Amino acid sequence: MPVTNSQYWDNTIAQMDKDEKLNEFGNEVYRMFITRGSGIFYCRICTAIDGWMNIETHQDGNYFGVWHNEDQLRIVTFCEGDVTVEQAKDKDAFDTAVQSTVSYYKRLAS
């Protein structure tokens, strides 16, 4: 039986390093390093068909990307092999984290 995108992320998160403390929004944060470029996210594991949306930044490229999934309450950031997954505790925390992420990258671009 094929693994759903949500199951893939649940399995991946189980193998990642978890930050000791919750972030400023009360969300759990997980980290790992991979040796691939961001293409795997765009083409396979953070796809629109699975509910993922790209948060556009001025840094987007094969070395960087940010995606969010409202159904899974997750934000994924990829930067030069470092993968960070923020797992929101609820919809309000997710919306606040997404808004903060969008604002952060807008400030960086200006």
Give residue-wise pLDDT tens across range 63-84: 899 999 999 999 999 999 999 9
* The pLDDT value given to residue 97: 98
* The pLDDT value given to residue 110: 84
CATH, residue 88 = 3.30.310
Question: How far is Cα 64 from Cα 6, in angstroms, rounded to an integer?
Answer: 22
The total domain count for the chain is 1
What's the domain range around 104? Answer: 5-109
Give residue-wise pLDDT tens across range 14-68: 999 999 999 999 999 999 999 877 778 877 889 999 999 999 999 888 889 999 9
- What pTM was computed for the model? 0.91
